[in-house]
C-alpha cells in the first residue's frame, strides 16, 4: 500500500476537479447558445471521459494510501464507495450526454441528468469530509491530495 498518492494521480485529481467545475459553469450554455457555447460544455466533458479511464488504470496499478488508523470502519466504507462512485459517475454522465447529443440516444440524456444530482451530493460529502479531516480530525488526508499544504 503506498503512503501517498503519486504525483500524476494528484495532478489528475485536480485537473478533473477543475474540468467538472467548468461543466457546472457552462451547463446553462449548452441549450441556449450556438455550437460554440454548447462546445464549452461538451469539450470539458470529453476531456473528463478520456481522463477518467486513464486515472482508473493508474488507481488500479498504483493503488491509494490507507485511510488513517483512527478512521471509523463505517466512514472508511463511505469514503471508498464515494471514490468508486466518482469513477462510475464521471464516465456515465459525459458518455450519456455525448450519446444523446451525437448518437441520438434519449436514454443517454436520462443517464446524464440522473447521474449529475447523485454526483453533486457525493461531491459535497467528499469535499466536506476532506475539510473535516483536515481541520477537525487533524489527519493527513487532505495534505496527501494537496502536497503544497504539507510543506508549510
Among the listed residues 8, 27, 53, 149, the single contact to ligand HEM using CB under 6 A: 27
CA pair distance 47, 12, nearest whole angstrom: 11
Question: Should residue 31 be labelled a site residue for ligand HEM when binding is judged by CB under 6 A?
Answer: yes
Among the listed residues 12, 51, 55, 34, the one whose alpha carbon sits nearest the alpha carbon of residue 145: 12
Q: In this chain, which of 77, 83, 103, 138 binds ligand HEM, going by CB under 6 A?
A: 83
47 to 36, 43, 71: CA distances (angstroms): 16, 6, 34
Q: Does 126 bind ligand HEM (CB under 6 A)?
A: yes
Q: What are the grid coordinates assigned to 122, written together? A: 457525493
4: CB partners within 8 A, 6+ apart: 65, 144, 147
Nearer to ligand HEM, 57 or 90 (CB): 90
Binding residue for ligand HEM, selected from 15, 78, 88, 109, defined by CB under 6 A: 109
Q: Does 130 bind ligand HEM (CB under 6 A)?
A: yes
Does residue number 17 form part of the binding site for ligand HEM (CB under 6 A)?
yes
- Which alpha helices (DSSP H) does the chain contain, by range? 7-25, 29-32, 35-62, 73-103, 106-132, 147-150
From candidates 6, 78, 98, 118, binder to ligand HEM by CB under 6 A: 98
Name residue, grid cell 443517464.
111
Among 25, 54, 127, 150, binds ligand HEM (CB under 6 A): 127
CA–CA separation, 84 and 71 (whole Å): 18
Interface with ligand HEM (CB under 6 A): 9, 13, 16-17, 20, 23-24, 27, 30-31, 41-42, 45, 48, 59, 64-65, 67, 79, 83, 86, 90, 93-94, 97-98, 101, 109, 112-113, 116, 123, 126-127, 130-131, 141-142, 144-145
Amino acid at each position: 500500500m503506498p503512503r501517498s498518492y503519486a504525483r500524476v494521480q494528484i495532478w489528475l485529481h485536480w485537473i478533473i476537479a477543475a474540468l467538472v467545475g467548468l461543466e457546472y459553469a457552462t451547463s446553462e450554455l449548452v441549450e441556449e447558445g450556438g455550437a460554440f457555447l454548447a462546445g464549452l460544455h461538451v469539450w470539458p466533458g470529453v476531456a473528463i471521459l478520456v481522463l477518467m479511464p486513464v486515472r482508473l488504470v493508474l488507481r488500479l496499478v498504483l493503488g491509494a494510501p490507507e485511510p488513517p488508523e483512527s478512521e471509523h470502519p463505517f466512514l472508511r466504507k463511505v469514503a471508498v464507495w464515494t471514490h468508486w462512485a466518482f469513477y462510475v459517475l464521471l464516465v456515465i454522465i459525459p458518455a450519456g450526454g455525448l450519446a444523446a447529443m451525437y448518437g441520438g440516444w434519449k436514454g443517454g440524456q436520462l443517464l446524464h441528468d440522473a447521474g449529475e444530482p447523485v454526483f453533486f451530493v457525493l461531491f459535497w460529502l467528499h469535499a466536506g469530509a476532506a475539510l473535516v479531516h483536515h481541520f477537525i480530525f487533524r489527519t493527513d488526508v487532505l495534505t496527501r491530495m494537496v502536497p503544497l499544504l504539507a510543506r508549510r
